[in-house]
Chain A
Amino acid sequence: MSQQETLLSIRNLNVRFKQEDAEPFHALKGINLDIPKNTTVALVGESGSGKSVTSMAIMQLLPAMQTLIDPASQILFEGRNLLELEGAELRRLRGKDIAMIFQEPMSSLNPVFTVGDQIVETLMLHAKLSRSAAAKRALELLIEVGLPDPEKKIKAYPHELSGGQQQRVMIAIAIACEPKLLIADEPTTALDVTIQKQILELIAKLQARRGMSVLFITHDLGLVGEFADKVVVMRHGEIRESDDVKQIFENPQDAYTKALLACRPQLDHRPLRLPVIDDFMKPGGYVSAGERQRGYSGDDEIVLDVQGLAKSFDIRHGLFGKKQFHAVKNVSFKLARGKTLGIVGESGSGKTTVGLTLVRLHQATGGKALFEGKDLLAMSPKEFHAYKRRIQIIFQNPYASLNPRFTVEQILSEPMMLHGIGNNPAERRKMAQDLLDRVGLPARSLLKYPHEFSGGQRQRIAIARCLTMKPEVLICDESVSALDVSVQAQVLNLLQDLQDEFKLSYLFISHDLAVVKHISDQVLVMNKGEVVEQGNADAIYRQPQESYTKRLLDSIPQGWTGGAPVLA
């Protein structure tokens, strides 16, 4: 597996960023990291851990004006300290000895040059090939990275390719000059789960064939189990644990590593409450509390009955015509009181549109949504206003769902004012304080503005905002997808507590299959606007009937599988 020779050695890397108003932010607190030759090293951490900073520091890609690197820090590569390189020497290193691919392939490629030109550019620069030789080599590279239809695509512009194809192009550019080290900074985070699997397989294949080392940066520990040789866990600018992949998964030493491994929802069991970091950090460690059973029983009260929901969008076509894009076609389901219905699918499946249509943020083009016998979709806006407080929605982006100019108190009192809850401001403030306490935030948060909170905290405020109206149905539209794994666990636990206490019914929309399985009683699988499969969560995950469902489940990263080679 890993050879003893070290390719890159980071010693005492100490990085600070200048801040406007405060002391410089200490991003990396003197870390030490070794990357051996011909090895895949996974650098795992949540947001703010410093993993990206580490990777950018290697090639001096950090913004020069704001970065303060301690002079005692060293990054040794083939005997030289990379932090001391400048000018032509540095440029020779970049792209030739060490190459990098980034998270957002769409914006990382230059939009005005063709894909082929961008690969040729690297080849002409470092490999000193002539333009025609470089063009030939570029085509070979595109074939090697598995880009479909490479002869045509080589003349395409980046925006004409899909996300996965763009990332393949980025990989082709990176490996063009046979680098010794490939740094991959969250390369699959922005991609669908099925595409993600393909890209990971590609990287593993290239690593094996070319004998290069890969530094793979990700926030998802479960992802790396299948192809990493060594795992390094970071938190708050420090390395918590660094070991062979087998050790990390089977015998983690550090409390944080244990927490990271445990707090992700698993497919094979469903704890009563997801473990969170605190559970591991306190003395005594984590004690599991038992399993939770889920599923619809026969005599559940049905609170929302959706029949034949459909939504189409008009797109301009031709001179005067319009074409219809069917986002949602004929979706039906029943939501039981106090239970959760999960809707799972990839991007473009229509799952988000279902949620938005039910709260009438989009106008449905067909179907019914029966609530207490009345069709929510057919009511006049005035009639619907009375029902608004009973069916609420929590959005995905915690940074955009709270008005930046409102204080938390204003955010929470507004729904109360609009629905006549509470008789005066003092009463409303008391209710707001109670709710903040319920979602785990201190009362003095009332005076603060959204930008003073983290992502997880903002989602709690959003949840509190919904609770002010005492709703019966809550639609969670990818509500935990933008959160770190540990924060996600906290919010999922909160949602579960609230459901247990208030008998809330959830419609939980997500692309994350493990999360959906954990929180849902029933699951709806959607693809291209249609329901592919529907049933009790356990049943579907254990024995999927449809091929699409099977393909989805296969793509879920298996985590550590005991050393058996999963990827060729």
Chain B
Amino acid sequence: MFAYIVRRVLQMIPTLFGVMLLVFVLFNVFGGDPSLVLAGKHLTAESLANIRAQLGLDKSQFAQFMIFVKQVLTLDFGTSWSTQQPVSDIIGSRIGPSLLLTGSMLVVDLLIAIPLAATVAYFRRGLTDRIVTICCTIAMSVSALVYIIAGQYWLAYKWGLFPVSGWGNSAFHNLWYYVPLPMLMGLMVSLGPDIRFYRSFFVEELSNDYVRTARAKGLSERVVMLKHVLRNALIPVVTTVMMSLPYLLIGALVLETFFSIPGMGNAVVLAVNNSDFPIIKAITVYIALATMVFNLLADLIYKLIDPRVQLK
């Protein structure tokens, strides 16, 4: 087990290096010269040269890459080009709202999708199954944008059931007041595919031989489903959930933009709009790192819940 963890951590290094290389090539090589943007209105040859020196743009590409690597290792990405705030501060303040929104969305999604998927799989091939599947498909087909625009317009603006946008100061207040509408919109988008996805896990398990044995033992369909099948189907479900955890950090980009929630996703969109590279680079690297760590955690948890797995 220990050997496995060590080997995985060692494997993360080339991947992280690859991500850094990707980010560097994208932004430093293709991204164009930011000094013009930063100089702004006070464009003189002198200020340009100053900015260049400050950002290290007067050095070779290789040297710049080493600077970037150092930034990653010391977790210091400098300051934002648009707001002049330290990048780490910005990121630090924005993780909370993102997690609050996507975290609560994940919990509610699971609470609804899993039982519904199990029920539908139980009645598979029947009328219920077909109807629910088609409803999910139709729900999936409407663009998230439409849900959000329509939802915001009718539920918040016209009928005043929820605030149109915004964010508060206390986590509790946010959870009760600001989160529900974006969460509802997010669920409209995610429930459809999730129900279908989890349903397929259940259906696949139901076609296994051990289900036949369970029935031959005289167990009722209910027990077969809730005890034997569920326990097995949970394995891919847990794996999927674990793998989606890193995405919680990035927040729901579109939701945050619409509802003016000061989260990571919002930060990314603003940064891209402003060509604020330090923020984009930092967020990309952090998220990549988090993804790798969560993947490792997912594999370890997988080992815990599936006795067949042997980590080598």
A and B are partners in one complex rather than unrelated chains: yes
Q: With A and B bound together, what is the CA distance between A309 and B214 in angstroms?
A: 47
A22 at the interface (CB under 8 A from B): no
Q: With A and B bound together, what is the CA distance between A125 and B214 in angstroms?
A: 12
- Chain B residue at minimal CB-CB distance from A176: B217
Q: Mark A155-171, 1 if CB is under 8 A from B, else 0.
A: 00101000000000010
Q: With A and B bound together, what is the CA distance between A126 and B7 in angstroms?
A: 49
A65 at the interface (CB under 8 A from B): yes
A288 at the interface (CB under 8 A from B): no
Q: With A and B bound together, what is the CA distance between A517 and B213 in angstroms?
A: 38
**Residues 399-450 of A contacting B (Cβ, < 8 Å):** none
Which residues does chain A contribute within 8 Å of B66, judged by CB atoms? none
Q: Is the CB of B212 within 8 A of A108?
A: yes
Which residues does chain B contribute within 8 Å of A126, judged by CB atoms? 218
Q: Is the CB of A107 within 8 A of B307?
A: no
A282 at the interface (CB under 8 A from B): no
Number of A-B contacts (CB under 8 A): 74
- Chain A residue at minimal CB-CB distance from B217: A95
Partner of A112, one of B3, B7, B209, B231: B231
Which residues does chain A contribute within 8 Å of B209, judged by CB atoms? 102, 104, 107-108
Which residues does chain A contribute within 8 Å of B208, judged by CB atoms? 107
A100 at the interface (CB under 8 A from B): yes
B303 at the interface (CB under 8 A from A): no
Q: Is the CB of B6 within 8 A of A59?
A: no
Count residues of B near A (Cβ-Cβ below 8 Å).
25
Q: Is the CB of B228 within 8 A of A110?
A: yes
Q: Mark B1-32, 1 if CB is under 8 A from A, else 0.
A: 00100110000000000000000000000000
* With A104-B209, A159-B308, A318-B3: A112-B218 Cβ-Cβ less than 8 Å: no
A408 vs chain B, min Cβ distance (A) = 32
Q: Is the CB of B216 within 8 A of A112?
A: no
B306 at the interface (CB under 8 A from A): yes
- Chain A residue at minimal CB-CB distance from B235: A112
**Residues 110-142 of A contacting B (Cβ, < 8 Å):** 110-113, 121-122, 125-126
Q: Mark B194-214, 1 if CB is under 8 A from A, else 0.
A: 000000000000001110111
Partner of B217, one of A94, A112, A113: A94
Q: Is the CB of A107 within 8 A of B6?
A: no
Which residues does chain A contribute within 8 Å of B220, judged by CB atoms? 91
A-B CB proximity, top 10 nearest: A95-B218, A94-B218, A107-B209, A95-B217, A157-B307, A110-B210, A319-B3, A91-B218, A100-B216, A108-B209
Q: A112-B307, A113-B231, A122-B217 are in contact. List 20 more A-B contacts (CB 8 A).
A: A59-B216, A61-B212, A65-B125, A91-B219, A93-B218, A94-B216, A95-B217, A96-B218, A102-B209, A108-B209, A108-B213, A109-B210, A110-B213, A110-B214, A111-B306, A112-B235, A121-B217, A170-B213, A316-B312, A319-B7
Interface residues of A (CB under 8 A from B): 59, 61, 65, 91-96, 99-100, 102, 104, 107-113, 121-122, 125-126, 157, 159, 170, 173, 316, 318-319
